[in-house]
Amino acid sequence: MSSPFKHPKSGIYYLRKGVPKRLVPIIGKAVFKQSLNTKDLREAKSLIIPLLADVDNQIRLAELQLTDDSSQELSLRDCQIIANRWYG
């Protein structure tokens, strides 16, 4: 599990998680980065949990795309992530 990254100048915590190299062309970026909008480590640790779950789901979806296995079914959560990336 990734821990919050503290920006050296602002002191604000961020989520930072690398994307596996083989998935960068599918996801479109090498690193997921998102501000947690807090300078409090305890708060940052609680805020990062659901965001990491979303990032992990996006990585799993990209891996499914890479395998091109059409027999895989998407869960409701997977569909929500896809819709959010396209329309959110």
Q: Give the other-Cβ count within 10 Å of 4's Cβ.
A: 20
Closest C-alpha to 53, from 81, 12, 22, 88: 81
Tens digits of residue pLDDT in 60-88? 999 988 886 556 678 888 888 888 888 86
pLDDT of residue 19 exceeding 80? yes
Residue 70 vs residue 8, higher pLDDT: 8
Mean pLDDT (whole number) for 48-59? 93
Range of the domain at 13: 5-87
Number of domains in the chain: 1
Are the C-beta atoms of residues 21 and 36 closer than 8 Å to each other?
Answer: no
Mean pLDDT (whole number) for 24-45? 95
* Residue written as token pair 């480590």: 41
Enter the pTM of the model.
0.70
pLDDT at residue 73, as a whole number: 76
